[in-house]
Amino acid sequence: MVAQLPDPIIIARRVGGVRFHTFISSFTDDNIANATHIIESENKLVLVDGQFLVPYALKFREYADSIGKPIDRIYLSHRHPDHWFGLAAAFNDIPIYALAETIEFLKEDGEASRQDHWKMGNLAPDTVPIPKEVACAGEEIIDGVRYVFDEVVDTEIDFLLTIALPDLGVFIAQDLIYSGTHLYLTQSMNHWIQVLQGMLLSDYDLFLAGHGVPADRNEVAGNIEYLTIAMDAAGRGLVNEEFKRFMLEQYPERKCPAIFNIYMPRLFGNARQF
Ligand SMILES: [Zn+2]
């Protein structure tokens, strides 16, 4: 019997009147330590991603409400269900922003993706959230804080929204980084490594991940190493259980091995992309 661990809440940084909060779903069982964030500025809150399972989405909402400032908006980083399932359950009343490609996916395939997870029962939401606001690459001042948005293609996902706060040294990378957990691997590992190398050359020193605790440069470098070793293993012909066993041996300290079973049918077979 595994002890029931708490859901960590971390103040990742406090600088210039802004606080960064990270809420992480418990690392227990088949959980994949989804990390969602709150940027608390003087008058309002900006949130990033909505958690996966409904109970965690509700806890994340409860925590955001406990801060005592209005939630101005929530950004959805990409179309993987572990980032948007919780939006429908807990953030229906908040304006949701996402890349045009992410909104298109949710309109076209969101319901199929939701139904694909019927085995989760009421851990999955009843409806699909359709963001009404399009997030575009560029700068915006929100509540006196400078945000820089960008669209990153072909890494862990085809289209990813990144959010940077250059004056505060914070880069919200979401699933470009798996912090202390096993990565969700795709066919685009080579390009993914290049993007991570670019992050190491930047002035940012705090990287908020989509899974696990807020990361430093060490963890970014660790993700580059993980991807390099995984590409090499796949290049040597390791697949499925053999591949998984090899990676678990290489990285016994990384958490959330349930992710192998989520991505391997896509990486090594031709399972649907959602
Ligand atoms: Zn994810």
pLDDT band at 7 (very low <50, low <70, confident <90, very high): confident
Report the amino acid identity of residue 53: L
Distance 188 CA to ligand 1 centre (A): 16
Asked if the model's pLDDT at residue 1 lies above 60, the reply is no
Q: Does a structural domain hold residue 69?
A: yes
Q: Which is nearest to 259 in space by CA: 74, 82, 21, 50?
A: 82
Determine the Cα–Cα distance for residues 103 and 128; give it in Å rounded to an integer. Answer: 11
Asked if the model's pLDDT at residue 3 lies above 70, the reply is no
Distance 27 CA to ligand 1 centre (A): 14
Provide the strand spans (E) within the chain: 9-15, 18-24, 35-40, 45-48, 71-75, 96-98, 133-134, 138-142, 145-153, 159-165, 170-179, 206-212
Measured at the CA of 247, the angle between CA 197 and CA 82, to 5 degrees, comes to 70
Q: Does a structural domain hold residue 21?
A: yes
Q: What are phi and psi of 97, to 5 degrees?
A: -110, 140
Distance 65 CA to ligand 1 centre (A): 24
Mean pLDDT of the chain: 95
The residues whose Cβ lies within 5 A of ligand 1, an ion, are: 80, 82, 175, 210
Higher pLDDT, 41 or 4: 41
Q: Does a structural domain hold residue 193?
A: yes
Distance 72 CA to ligand 1 centre (A): 23
CATH number at residue 107: 3.60.15.10
Q: Does a structural domain hold residue 1?
A: no
Residue 260 structural domain: 9-267
Determine the Cα–Cα distance for residues 142 and 144; give it in Å rounded to an integer. Answer: 5
- Encode pLDDT of 18-77 as tens digits: 999 999 998 777 789 999 999 999 999 999 999 999 999 999 999 999 999 999 999 999
Q: Does a structural domain hold residue 256?
A: yes
Q: Does a structural domain hold residue 3?
A: no
Q: Which residue carries 């995984």 as its tokens?
A: 230
Q: Does a structural domain hold residue 37?
A: yes
The sign one gets for the Cα dihedral 13, 139, 38, 2 is negative
- For the beta carbon of residue 168, count every other beta carbon within 10 angstroms: 19
At residue 101, the pLDDT reads 98
Asked if the model's pLDDT at residue 215 lies above 60, the reply is yes
pLDDT band at 271 (very low <50, low <70, confident <90, very high): confident
Q: How many separate domains does the chain show?
A: 1
Q: Mean pLDDT over residues 195-199, rounded?
A: 98
Q: Does a structural domain hold residue 156?
A: yes
Determine the Cα–Cα distance for residues 197 and 37; give it in Å rounded to an integer. Answer: 23
